[in-house]
Structure 1
Amino acid sequence: MTGRALVVEADGGSRGNPGVAGYGALVRDAVTGRVLWEGAEPLGKESNNVAEYSGLIAGLRAVLRIDAGADVEARMDSKLVVEQMAGRWKIKHPDMRTLALEARDLAARISAAGGSVTFTWIPREQNKDADALSNAGMDGRTIDRMLGGSATGDAIGGSASGDATDPTNGEVVDEVVDELIDPQPSPPAAGPWEGTPTRIVLVRHGITDFTVASRLDGRGGADPSLNTAGQAQAAAAGRATAHLLGGSSARVVTSSLARARETGAAVAEAIGAAPVVDADWDEQDFGDWDGAAIPDLVRDHPAELTAMREDPAYRRPGGESHEELAARVVAAFERVVAAGGTSVVVCHRKPIMCVLAHVLGIPHDKVWRLAAAPGSLTALEVWPDGNVSVAFTNRT
């Protein structure tokens, strides 16, 4: 049986290459030509190729929201992306390999649902709509607009714009968050990825005065509350979580520390849930360094600070090591997975790093490359067979 025919048109650009980058993509009904979805997003400082791959990935994600079993033709004016995705050109750059694997994973999910994905190069003049959307992304706009024709008939609309800001400087950007985790059950697949996944959204708390002052703030320290900017970030995280869930129910779990409980309360209110505290999601205990200013440690204790960062067994007096932190966080994560359904966990940077390192197999010497800004969202899907898909990270 032939599935619904859809066309993805995708593009990306960078003003400087690398420079200010953004992507744009849309999905059309192949028969009527009607646009069913359009999207755009700024990417910060990236290359043209990263932006182009990001546009393709966004378009394929939108297909999964509209009709996961569709026959899809992905059209792009990037010869490089089309030839690499078709398997005719080698992918040498590590960033491109990562993005290509993500795009291929999405294509595999479409194929597993009974559809197919092919890739076609088109001249730039035939890709003007996606090009216009990518320019909107480079201009700082985030667009996620469902124009009709989704499998469930839902309209997930709206667009928002704003300049990206440093999340620790008191400014808050309240953007539309892509509904990358579909609240409806994913289509059944044969073999791996079968069944309904457990969905987990990790939210980092908003900032405190300790965050602004670059002070270590672990589970054994002063336990400060959110400041005014942190409260605004917590409210924005609540709105973003509610948009992401699209009205579906979810549990809310928080660490025992004040900043996480206060952020969790804002998230829980936004989605209509009652938060539950699990202290295993607390930040690392930094012992006698809790409350210390990082610039002072850099100046006075550089060797010890390096050891705490690089040696997973290093522990400050009265504190805990990274290994001990990871053991309790992974145990808490596995409890959330075992509960099934959808859970929102409001916690801290290092616990979020521990979860991502655990599911992705990232070694300790690379774990600090994972970013988790205050008020940001990170989302995962854990399937019954143990497969894990990281939908997105560090979204503010």
Structure 2
Amino acid sequence: MSRRRLVVEADGGSRGNPGVAGYGALVRDGADGRVLWEGAAPLGKESNNVAEYSGLIAGLRAVLRIDAGADVEVRMDSKLVVEQMAGRWKIKHPDMRQLALEARDLASQVSAAGGSVSFTWIPRERNKDADALSNDGMDGRTIDRMLGPDREGASAATMDEFIDEVVDEVIDPVPSPAPVSPGEGNPTRIVLVRHGVTDFTVASRLDGRGGADPGLNTAGQAQAAAAGRATAHLLGGSPARVVTSSLARAVQTGAAVADAIGVEATVDRDWDEQDFGDWDGQSIPDLVRDEAEALLALRADPAYARPGGESHDQLAARVVAAFERVVAAGGTTVVVCHRKPIMCVLAHVLGIPHDKVWRLAAAPGSLTALEVWPDGNVSVAFTNRT
């Protein structure tokens, strides 16, 4: 059976180079040209090249959410990025090398799933859709919109379509929407914050609760500070608690968030990242090359655990227990943790099966907000907002 074909169109820009930067990207169905996903985000003060690579990375992440085993053609009007990713031009700038490593890791995940990634340069006039999205990013807009198949005439939404709607991000910052079917009383409000990046994050190394436990690097510290400002703005002076995992990157990010809202953070180890056992600290590209079958098992089989580590099911059990403690406490709690615990919470409250959980994005420094009502109703106000 032939593999699905997907096309990524990506771009990025900077008003000043470096200056106010943003990226834009979209994924099309290779057969009929339909747009399946589109995204954009601001990047602060960065160069054009950083923005272009960021658009590429966002597009490849979306591919993994849509069909990790597809044959993917990446189209960009950046000759530099295309030639560097194709291996024909050297990458001299350290920032570019780190971003290229992240993009190559994502491409390796596609290859490990049975797909392929190729890169094509196109003239700027053929990249207008991605360029328009990158301007949205430079204007401060965040977009993460999974469009899915045409629903005209459909009698009911499929589970995949429902999940796509759940992970859609709003274009402009807006107040949290009213909850769906609220019960009596006040809701418990929970803000989930993912930690900023470390050198392990940049180098695409597995980093669980049993590993080296690196702290934030310079970029991660900036993300933590930004997450603190965003949280303070979201809360608008309302009282809140801050809880973090026990891992250094979460503790440091949590300290920045707690400082921004004027409280002291507490630690709950049940919010730690998954323990990857003998793979903690291992390079993901190396595992893709040498341990592809086992790596896919770690991703796809909730009962699979590495020697000395824990399975996704074991991770989910402790995270859900920690989540329920937060709900029982009432009020507002900001939890600073990791990508997989955030995925576990969203899967738990939305009933998302394990084979779909990787569709849930949680970027470093991002915020996800929920409201839990006394009768058990849950409203996901937004996800993955940076």
> What CA RMSD, in Å, does the superposition of the two structures yield over aligned residues?
3.3
Q: Give the secondary structure class of the aligned counterpart of 1:140.
A: helix
Q: CA deviation at 1:137?
A: 8.0
Of residues 164, 176, 180 in structure 1, which corresponds to 2:175?
180
Give the drift of 1:194.
Answer: 3.0
Counting only pairs closer than 5 Å after superposition, residues 315-326 of structure 1 correspond to structure 2 as 315-326=305-316
After TM superposition, the structure 1 = structure 2 runs for residues 219-230 of structure 1, keeping only pairs within 5 Å, are 219-230=209-220
Residue 196 of structure 1: CA displacement?
1.2
**Counterpart of 2:191?**
201
Maintained 8 Å contact 1:382/1:388: yes
Instruction: Answer yes or no: is 1:354 the counterpart of 2:344.
Output: yes
Q: Where does 1:273-288 land on structure 2 (aligned, <5 Å)? A: 273-288=263-278
Q: TM-score, normalised by structure 2?
A: 0.58
**Deviations along 1:72-119, whole A, 9 cap, x unmatched?**
xxxxxxxxxxxxxxxxxxxxxxx9xxxxxxxxxxxxxxxxxxxxxxxx
Partners in 1 of 2:374 and 2:24 — Cα distance? 33
Which residue, 22, 26, 48 being the options, matches 1:45?
Answer: 26
Residue aligning to 2:58 = none
Deviations 1:163-198 (A, max 9, x none): 99xxxxxxxxxxx9835338xxx79x9x74332111
Write out per-residue CA displacement over residues 306-337 of structure 1, whole angstroms, 9 at most, x where no aligned residue.
Answer: 11111100010000000000000000000000
Rounded Cα–Cα distance in structure 1 between residues aligned with 2:174 and 2:201: 29
1:161 — aligned with what?
A: 140
CA distance in 1, matches of 2:337, 2:351: 21
Q: Which residue of 2 aligns with 1:139?
A: 135
Tell me the CA shift for residue 204 of structure 1.
0.2
Tell me the equivalent position of 1:265. Answer: 255
Distance in 1 between residues matched to 2:137 and 2:285, nearest whole Å: 35
> In the alignment, which of 287, 293, 296 is matched to residue 286 of structure 2?
296
Given that residues 177 and 240 in structure 1 are in contact (C-alpha distance below 8 angstroms), is that contact kept between their aligned partners in structure 2? no
Structure 1 residue identity aligned to 2:258: A
The amino acid across from 1:364 in the alignment is H
Q: Which amino acid aligns with 2:284?
A: I
Give ranges in structure 1 of 5+ residues lacking alignment. 1-17, 22-40, 52-94, 96-134, 143-159, 165-175
Contact 1:140/1:163 (CA < 8 Å) preserved in 2? Answer: yes
2:26–2:35 Cα contact (<8 Å) kept: no
The answer as to whether partners of 2:245 and 2:268 remain within 8 angstroms in 1 is yes
Equivalent AA in structure 1 for residue 276 of structure 2: F
In the other structure, the counterpart of 1:241 is 231
Secondary structure of 2:251's aligned partner: helix
Asked if structure 2 preserves the Cα contact closer than 8 Å seen for 1:179 and 1:243, the reply is no
> 1:372 deviation in Å?
0.4
The answer (yes or no) to whether the contact 1:254–1:278 under 8 Å persists in 2 is yes
Distance 2:186 2:211 in 1: 40
Distance 1:224 1:279 in 2: 16
Is the CA contact (8 Å cut-off) linking 1:177 and 1:243 kept in structure 2?
Answer: no
2:297 equivalent to 1:313: no
1:232 & 1:388 partners in 2: Cα distance? 32
Query: Are 1:375 and 2:365 counterparts?
Result: yes
Mapped partners of 1:215, 1:20: distance in 2 = 25
**Counterpart residue identity of residue 350, structure 2:** L
After superposition, what is the alpha-carbon deviation per residue over 1:30-56, rounded to whole angstroms, capped at 9, x for unaligned?
Answer: xxxxxxxxxxx99853899999xxxxx
**d(CA) in 2 for partners of 1:225, 1:267:** 16
Residue 292 and residue 335 in structure 1: after superposition, are their counterparts in 2 closer, same or farther (change >3 A)? Answer: same
Match of 1:169 in 2: none
Q: Secondary structure at the match of 2:342?
A: helix
Question: In the aligned structure 1, how far is the partner of 2:381 from the partner of 2:289?
Answer: 39
Pair 248,19 (structure 1): closer, same or farther in 2 beyond 3 Å: farther
Change (3 A) 1:353 1:240: same
For the Cα contact (< 8 Å) 1:284–1:350, is it kept in 2?
Answer: yes
Counterpart residue type for residue 368 of structure 1: W
- Post-superposition offset of 1:138: 7.0
**Letter paired with 1:349:** R
Could you tell me how far 1:162 is from its partner in structure 2?
7.5
Instruction: Give 1:223 shift.
Output: 0.3
Unaligned runs of 5+ in 2: 1-7, 12-21, 29-33, 38-65, 67-130, 144-170
In 2, Cα distance between the equivalents of 1:327 and 1:386? 19
Secondary structure of the residue aligned to 1:295 is helix
Q: How many residues align?
A: 247
Structure 2 contact 24–135 (Cα < 8 Å) conserved? no
The 3-state SS of whatever aligns with 1:139 is: helix
What code does the residue aligned with 2:176 have? I
What are the residue-to-residue correspondences of 1:68-107 with 2, within 5 Å? none
- Give distance in 2, aligned partners of 1:303 and 1:50: 28
Change (3 A) 1:202 1:19: same
Give the superposition deviation at 1:273: 1.1
Rg comparison, structure with higher value: 1
Distance 2:337 2:218 in 1: 19
Confirm or deny: 8 A CA contact 1:177 1:244 kept in the other structure.
no
Contact 1:218 1:285 in 2 (8 A): yes
SS of 1:196's equivalent in the other structure is: coil
Identity of aligned residues (%): 74
